[in-house]
A = this chain, B = another copy of it.
Amino acid sequence: MDLVVVGTIGIDDVETPFGKARDVLGGSSIYAAYAASFFAEVGISSIVGQDFPEDFMHLLKRRGIKTTGIQVDGKTFRWKGRYEYTMNEAQTIDTQLNCLASFKADLPEDYRKVKYVFIGNTDPEIQLGVLAQLKKPSFVAMDTMNFWITSKKDKVLEAARKCNLLIINDGEARQLFQTASLFEASQRARKAGIRELIIKKGEHGALLFSNGRFFYAPGYPLESIKDPTGCGDSFAGGLMGYIAKTKDKTEENLRRAVIYGSVIASFNAEDFSLERMKRLSMQEIESRFNEFKEIVKF
């Protein structure tokens, strides 16, 4: 196993101006692990309920994704969301935490030895717990969200300092570092002891701050966007999968990893749930990677 992904598994209902999907597989660890599986062998640490469909579990296993770190208890987490025409941000219509409320992320023994780890958005105390279990971490990334920045900011920063990379969106960066300027946010992150920072800007691409330098990954001009659910997680998963595969933490390789993450996320938006990733080939990934090169060339 090259990479461990810690995060949620859910059953989602999603509505966008271009259609709807009911009772589909979702959750941060699912999108991240599936995206990473294009590059590396992945194991998920998460929790589902006894009601979790066998089909979903088979889908992961067929894909070669390790599921021994998925606990089973109670009822599966459910999320219902809707996107408006601009597709920028989901409106949550309903959340049922269910089993997720008791998730502690106790990693199986073989997970603890894995060098590459992505800790999806969750309580920073759980994230710190995961970090404490890792025996030889080489490159660990984490995500967070406004809820934790508001309620447990110190813990968020403590966890981020122990990671190699913090991946957040622009709104979260502004909130966490209390500035409207993403440049200023990057400087404050550095002062706070955060090593590498990625700021996701949705359709506008992503910024990597590494070694005091900036890298701007463009937003891919998508012909059709059906459902942006999971784009942030498939971005992070694709990125971490590529790093786990190449075992290369140089700034140069991080830049390539950001592009691979962007490529996978751009495909993910083309259909609901995992549908587009399920029929995605490495050839398509490489071809869009090259398109990203063309798009910024001058």
Tell me whether A181 is interfacial, beta carbon within 8 Å.
yes
By a CB distance below 8 angstroms, the chain B residues around A293 are 298
Residue from the list B184, B204, B205, B222 in contact with A223, Cβ < 8 A? B184
Residue from the list B216, B221, B258 in contact with A219, Cβ < 8 A? B216
Tell me whether A296 is interfacial, beta carbon within 8 Å.
yes
Q: How often does this chain occur in the complex, in copies?
A: 2
Task: Report yes or no: B223 in contact with A181, Cβ–Cβ below 8 A.
Answer: yes
Task: Report yes or no: A180 in contact with B87, Cβ–Cβ below 8 A.
Answer: yes
Q: 19 A-B pairs, CB-CB below 8 angstroms?
A: A85-B180, A86-B180, A181-B222, A181-B223, A183-B221, A184-B223, A204-B204, A205-B216, A207-B221, A213-B294, A214-B221, A215-B295, A216-B295, A216-B296, A218-B296, A252-B298, A256-B298, A293-B298, A296-B296
Tell me whether A297 is interfacial, beta carbon within 8 Å.
yes
Q: How many of A's residues come within 8 Å of B, CB to CB? A: 38
Among residues 207 to 237 in chain A, which have CB atoms less than 8 Å away from a CB atom of chain B? Answer: 207, 213-219, 221-225
Chain B min CB distance to A274 (Å): 22
Chain B min CB distance to A226 (Å): 11
By a CB distance below 8 angstroms, the chain B residues around A223 are 181, 183-184
Please, which residue of chain B has its CB at the minimum distance from the CB of A202? B204
Tell me whether A144 is interfacial, beta carbon within 8 Å.
no
Tell me whether A126 is interfacial, beta carbon within 8 Å.
no
Q: Provide the main secondary structure of the chain A interface.
A: mixed
- Report A's interface with B, CB cutoff 8 A: 17, 85-87, 180-184, 186, 201, 204-205, 207, 213-219, 221-225, 252, 255-256, 258-259, 292-298
Chain B min CB distance to A151 (Å): 23
By a CB distance below 8 angstroms, the chain B residues around A252 are 298
Pick the 7 closest A-B CB pairs, nearest first. A216-B218, A204-B204, A296-B296, A255-B298, A183-B221, A216-B295, A183-B223
Name which of A181, A183, A186, A216 has the most chain B CB atoms within 10 A of its CB. A216
Residue from the list B183, B217, B292, B298 in contact with A222, Cβ < 8 A? B183
Task: Report yes or no: B182 in contact with A221, Cβ–Cβ below 8 A.
Answer: yes
CA distance A219 to B218 in the complex (A): 9
Name which of A186, A215, A295, A296 has the most chain B CB atoms within 10 A of its CB. A296
By a CB distance below 8 angstroms, the chain B residues around A298 are 215, 217, 252, 255-256, 258-259, 292-293
CA distance A256 to B207 in the complex (A): 21
Chain B min CB distance to A103 (Å): 35
CA distance A233 to B261 in the complex (A): 34
